[in-house]
Amino acid sequence: MTTERPVRVLLAILGLDQHEAGAFAVATLLRDAGMEVLYLGRFATPEIVVDAALEEDADIIGLSCHSWEYLYYLDELFELLHGREISTPVVVGGSVIGRDDENEIHAKGVAATFGPSSDANEIARQIRSLAEARGA
């Protein structure tokens, strides 16, 4: 990283999914690892996420998902990111990501996925390295 500021992660939940426990757990572990977390909360749309990522100069866009809705929002999200030439890496974490989904969403452009069994240190390490690769 060229600047001193901590890695900045935007965290959001898309659509009508109201489960927040996973997002809070991840927010806490990223803060404990010295990162800055901007929690956008529930009921975000791809547009709200992209606007906030630009406005807040986020290094990473993190999506927490506990319903299958995210699968249908990702296309719209990447379309907006590409259209506005934004290269912020998107990572997705959540209980509902199956192995088939993992392959599918990686193909769409998701940089990393995390599930309930992911190690806390590993989540922080991967997010940091994605952010640093982008800053470099």
Indicate which single residue of 43, 55, 82, 122 sits in contact with other proteins (rule: CB under 8 A).
Answer: 43
Residue at 37: amino acid letter: V
122 secondary structure, DSSP code: H
Residue 76 sits in the site that holds other proteins (CB under 8 A)? no
Minimum CB distance to other proteins, residue 123 (Å): 11
Residue 24 sits in the site that holds other proteins (CB under 8 A)? yes
Q: Are strands 60-64 and 8-14 parallel, antiparallel or unpaired?
A: parallel
Indicate which single residue of 8, 96, 108, 134 sits in contact with other proteins (rule: CB under 8 A).
Answer: 96
Helix (H, G, I), strand (E, B) or coil at 28: helix
CA triple 4-87-75, angle to 5 deg: 140
Residue at 59: amino acid letter: D
Q: Total binding residues for other proteins by CB under 8 A?
A: 23
Sites of contact with other proteins (CB under 8 A):
18-21, 24-25, 28-29, 42-43, 45, 67-68, 72, 95-96, 98-100, 115-117, 120
